[in-house]
Homo-oligomer: A and B are copies of this chain.
Amino acid sequence: MSKEPSTNLESAMQMLIKTFHKYSGKEGDKYTLSRGELRELLTEELGNYLGNAQDKDAVERVMNDLDSNNDGEVDFTEFIILMGALTVACNDFFLDSPAPKKADGKAGGDEKKE
C-alpha cells in the first residue's frame, strides 16, 4: 500500500475498499457489514442515489438481496456486487437521458415544441 493511486480507476478501487472498511470495522466482525453498519453506509455514502435508504424496509430489502449466504452480514464481495449493479443502473440512466433533465418532479416535462 506504499503507492498512491495514480489514475481515476485506481482511486475508484481504493475508495470502494476504504469506504467498506470504514463501516465494517465499527462492530462485530470487522470484515463484514452488519445490518446497522449497512444502513449507516447507505445513508451516509449513497444518500443522493438511494434517497429513501433511511426507510427501514429499504435497508432490509437490500440486506436480504445481498446476503446470499443468509448470515445477516454483507461481506466485501456482496458489497461490490451492489456497487456494480448501482453503477450499471446509473450508467444506463445517463445513456437513456440524452439531455440533462431537471430532477425536481418535472423530469422530461418541460420541453416545448415550437
Point out residues on A near B: beta carbons under 8 Å: 1-3, 5-13, 15-20, 31, 44-49, 76-77, 80-81, 83-84, 86-88, 90-91, 94-95, 100, 103
Contacts and interface: CB of A to CB of B under 8 A. Distances in A.
Contacts of A81: 84
B8 A15 contact: yes
Contacts of A3: 48, 103
B83 A77 contact: no
B19 A94 contact: no
Contact of A6 (B6, B7, B20, B48): B48
B48 A17 contact: no
Contacts of A31: 95
